[in-house]
Amino acid sequence: MLDLPRRRLDLGTRVGVMGIVNRTPDSFYDRGATFAFDTALAHARRLVAEGADIVDVGGIKGGPGAAVGVAEEIDRVVPFVAALREVEPDVLVSVDTFRAPVADAALAAGADIVNDVTGLHDPEVLDVVVARDAGYVAMHHGGEPRTRPFRRHYVPDLTTAVVEHCRALTGRAIAAGVPPTRLIVDPGHDFQKTTYHSLEISRRLPELTALGFPVLVALSNKDFIGETLATPLERRVDGSLAAAVFSILRGAHLVRVHEVQRTADVVRMTEALLGWRDPAVAVRGLE
């Protein structure tokens, strides 16, 4: 269950879809296609129409790239959040940031969730989450923000490290005053991880779901998919969809994706096969 002031998502027998909007000129996937404000807003509305439960907006590329100051990140994110909230009042909005001032401004403008991909690199992010009655994504990062892994080794193993890190983060959040029903955990595929690491954590997702919080997987078009299949960026969608289905079967509750419509179809079909939902239409052989 994800229970936020604006909306409740019952994730026991359905999977939530988080659509991505990159308000950056150098994003790894769309290479700035949604950097322009009007384009980004139109894209977000299309994601909602295609079935996104959450729209996740970020103003800084997750990997190495040009330095972006706090004021510039706020300028990229906050007006967008305010505009999206005006035209899509019911959708949940998350802000992909690791900076407390950006999180605070975005939540004040109408965002619901802080998607902190650094695991509280800035501890004041948690203070903002508490003060603004927001949701929080506790993600395993394992290193400095915006850096790539180099021969990372985890003791005793990656999955144990991920689970313990997420256990500690959610424990800090609850102790600070965040209700458990507003917390999400994310194993952080590709972040400070090799391809073998990301494959391992996918197989061992039940160990993370055992913490009792909704599990978000951000798999879409990532390098571990490209390396596994030896495919370039523009040919990773099918691999991403396969990884999403596998993750759902291993217990994931939310998927963060670029291609919402295709993912929503895959997710809803998976739900039907699991017996979680009825067909939208069922007249074959009956008329």
HEC sequence for 101-164? HHHHHHHHHCCCEEEECCCCCCCHHHHHHHHCCCEEEEECCCCCCCCCCCCCCCCCCHHHHHHH
Is 222 a known active-site residue?
A: yes
Q: What is the DSSP letter of 248?
A: H
- How far is 140 from 189, CA to CA, in rounded Å? 9
- 179-227 pLDDT, tens digit each: 999 999 999 999 999 999 999 999 999 999 999 999 999 999 999 999 9
Q: Model confidence over 118-160: pLDDT tens digits? A: 999 999 999 999 999 999 999 999 878 868 888 888 999 999 9
Q: Nearest CA to 200 among 187, 212, 211, 218?
A: 187
What average pLDDT does this structure show over 3-31?
93
Residue among 207, 222, 32, 191 nearest 117 (CA): 191
* 3-class state of residue 24 by DSSP: coil
Q: Which two tokens stand for residue 112?
A: 């619901």
Domain boundaries 2-273, CATH class: alpha beta
The yes-or-no answer on residue 256 being catalytic is yes
| Neighbouring-strand partners of residue 24 | none
Q: Which residue in the list 222, 236, 250, 268 is annotated as catalytic? A: 222
| Amino acid in the structure at residue 75 | D
Instruction: Write out pLDDT tens, residues 89-98.
Output: 999 999 999 9
